[in-house]
Amino acid sequence: MSQIQQASIQNRLLRALTSDDFSRLQPHLETMTSQLREDLIEAGEPIKELYFPEVGFASIVIDGLAQKIEVGLVGREGLVGAAPLLLGTDCTPQQSFIQMAGTLLRIDAGVLRIAAQESTSLRTLLLRYIHTQMIQASLTIYAHAALKLESRLARWLLMCHDRVDGDELVLTHEFLAMMLGVQRAGVTLALQNLEGAGRIQGRRKRIRILDRDKLLQLVNGSYGAAEAEYARLIGGA
């Protein structure tokens, strides 16, 4: 039974906890590795466990009649399952699964629910995180309603980049297309544009971010506000 030290943790929420709150959760955190496309939370199923990503990240999607569309991204800044648990429901019509494999810290839902009831500081922190998720969702609405594919793609690459170590994203055009709700060929073309302008560099199953600033010039205000709220309410990187 290895002791997990707060200082050695990647997850920004766990790092932002008071040491009291951390001590409360620490005995219940279990390290696990995640597999690509592994389901963490299934739509309509009772939530038994929540997951603090340490490396890699998850997608929250809504499964419409036609397609699965991504409505949120949870990496080391977050907690998978936070919203349903803290907002008082045991299940949700959304689904969460691993989008980039890595490691997670798993915690039992009941334990976390009680901890959040007992500790105001823990509850406040997690609710603030949920606020940043709502802002993120608002901007996703804006992006889909107002922006062209190339801009939405730039936004998505930036959000992805924030959640990995290094500059290389491992994912296929096919998958990107699914998340953004467009066809795969369109993603290929948009990526080629971005690559031509020196913003990224693509290889098979890999996209390397070369120039964040140039990507930021494309996003038309759809990136940044949620991240600013996170910094303001929860804390620095």
Partner DNA sequence: ATTTTTTGGTTCGATGGCGAACAATAATTT
Partner DNA sequence: AAATTATTGTTCGCCATCGAACCAAAAAAT
Distance of CA 79 to the CA centre of its chain: 8
Q: 3, 5, 19, 65: which one contacts a second copy (CB under 8 A)?
A: 65
d(CA 176, CA 179): 5
Burial class (CB in 10 A: 0-12, 13-18, 19+), 21: buried
Choose the one of a second copy, DNA, none that binds residue 109, judging by a C-beta under 5 to 8 angstroms depending on kind: none
d(CA 101, CA 115): 28
Choose the one of a second copy, DNA, none that binds residue 183, judging by a C-beta under 5 to 8 angstroms depending on kind: DNA
Choose the one of a second copy, DNA, none that binds residue 25, judging by a C-beta under 5 to 8 angstroms depending on kind: none
Interaction of residue 137 with a second copy, rule CB under 8 A? yes
Helix (H, G, I), strand (E, B) or coil at 130: helix
Site mask for a second copy (CB under 8 A), range 157-186, x = bound: -----------------------xx-----
Interaction of residue 144 with a second copy, rule CB under 8 A? yes
- Phi first, then psi, for residue 13 (nearest 5°) are -65, -45
- Rounded to a whole number of angstroms, the minimum distance from the CB of residue 189 to DNA is 6
Q: Looking at 23-31, 105-113, 135-143, 162-170, which segment touches a second copy (CB under 8 A)?
A: 135-143
- Rounded to a whole number of angstroms, the minimum distance from the CB of residue 54 to DNA is 24
- Of 9, 142, 20, 140, whose CA–CA distance to 79 is shortest? 9
d(CA 26, CA 83): 21
Helix (H, G, I), strand (E, B) or coil at 11: coil
- Asked if residues 176 and 205 have their Cβ atoms less than 8 Å apart, the reply is no
Residues of this chain that bind a second copy (CB under 8 A): 60, 62, 64-67, 69, 71-72, 83-84, 86-89, 92-94, 124, 127-128, 130-131, 133-135, 137-142, 144-146, 180-181, 220-222, 225, 229, 233
